Chains A and B, each alone.
Chain A
């Protein structure tokens, strides 16, 4: 880890996090549709998008109070909301295609409008979000309400002018990228060339051009000729932040493959294979399941990538394939609960992870609405909780501690008391500031760095 990370606002444990806002209903009876399935800041951090199981997207916009003062407290308010995907029925397979939004990725802003890609299991859509704050008034042939005038009554001519109106934010689908995937899409990633993007399902990865919807290139295909020989699936994929020819994909077996599209059209052969050797004496029934990578994210500087498996977060140097450079335990105390976690399916939960703006701290979620901040530069970590009980404005979050066994200290919570239905799978970090968005089952929490 190079020097130069010791900047203020690094998000490390000298940072105190405090409550800023919470969005969503308070009631415990959660409708399926309200389950949040993805959270993503745009490139400037001004916009924050969420997707849910009901196929809806809600976009929040940062409004900065007291811009003139040095310390500004920003609030995110609803900017736009729309129905992105609807449930469909696959007639050939007699299966439902869920409308759940699996991922949202923003395009870098090129003009006044904002663009994002949203995807469910089968179809990716490009949405344009634009503002309208003026409208033309003073038509000659129409009344103000739109009815056409009787031509015989028109005796004078006027020039229509634009007059200000209340801001209206419109979302319109500009492209629909359909029929590209037989299996379920788990990732989308916009290329740094800002012209193409990739979409990955369990067995294949396709590359699309943002302008072209009737064709896509298949760049990875791991489907075996005989499905009985299937041993691993693709779990996540991402383009390199700067090198438009490079992307990575992770597997259910805990490996990450880096591919270079200059090498060949079909990237079945990887350029690099990242895999940590396993200690055979530790191998158990659960080993492969908990090694399955649920998320992979490049660092902003493009030199590292982070992977999340069931119990840990690993940081890999792209120049070193045989082991990660850093490993952080997220909730090691769960290792002695794997039997029950397998029985209640929690062992298959897919946690995401994210980097802070200067790559010095990473964050990931856990159970009981806990989330973990792992400081790479200071080698410290903290567990925080997203809870309605810590919702007073600017209330500082207290570190939480889990007692793995033995005597439980005051303020600690025992492993058996953890609520495994309260999972934080999706988190996002503002690209520049210490503002984080943490999604519980149906609520979105926004926390900010404490400002004195």
Chain B
């Protein structure tokens, strides 16, 4: 058990009162406790620069198109099953192949 000197207790009490009056400062203390390395200037250029460049960076357009294709396959499972049926069995004809760009789905608001 540590010995807390009387002066230190007084300062802590003062801080507590301030925090009680200002919930924001209490929240700030919580955040700093979790992330002690957090800098003091949240609105600084780092945060803003992160905002200016939003979204993941891709290596190149090939990387981008592959990522897009993965997402589209997830959203349209029907297209995927067609693909698995075709490969290996016969030489596909243009009609068999799923469209590279699946037809655009209409908004559900219009449904």
- Report which A residues bind B (CB closer than 8 A): 23-25, 31, 33-34, 36, 50, 52, 54, 56, 58, 78, 81, 83, 87, 89, 91, 93-96, 98, 183-184, 202-203, 227-233, 252-253, 281-282, 284-289, 292, 335-339, 342-343, 442, 444
Contact = CB atoms under 8 A, between A and B. Distances in A.
Given A184-B54, A233-B52, A285 B31 contact: yes
Interface of B: 22-28, 30-32, 34, 38, 40, 42-45, 48-49, 51-61, 63-65, 68, 75, 104-111
| Secondary structure dominating the interface of A | mixed
Closest 4 CB pairs of A and B: A288-B43, A336-B23, A284-B24, A338-B27
Contact of B107 (A52, A95, A203): A52
21 contacts: A24-B108, A24-B109, A25-B108, A25-B111, A31-B75, A58-B107, A89-B65, A94-B58, A95-B55, A95-B58, A96-B64, A230-B48, A233-B51, A252-B43, A286-B24, A336-B26, A336-B27, A338-B23, A338-B28, A339-B27, A339-B28
Nearest to B44: A231
B43 A253 contact: yes
A33 B61 CA distance: 21
Contact of A444 (B30, B54, B109): B109
A52 B111 CA distance: 14
Contacts of A253: 43
A326 to B, nearest CB: 22
Given A95-B57, A286-B42, A78 B51 contact: no
A96 B31 contact: no
Contact of B43 (A34, A78, A289): A289
B24 A337 contact: no
Most chain A CB within 10 A, of B25, B48, B64, B107, is at: B107
Contacts of A442: 108
Nearest to B56: A96
A23 B110 CA distance: 8
Given A56-B104, A94-B58, A281-B22, 20 more contacts: A78-B110, A94-B57, A94-B63, A94-B64, A183-B52, A203-B52, A228-B45, A230-B48, A232-B48, A282-B22, A285-B28, A285-B40, A289-B42, A289-B43, A335-B27, A337-B27, A339-B27, A339-B30, A342-B31, A343-B34
Contacts of B106: 56, 81
Nearest to B32: A285
A34 B108 contact: yes
A102 to B, nearest CB: 12
A72 B52 CA distance: 47
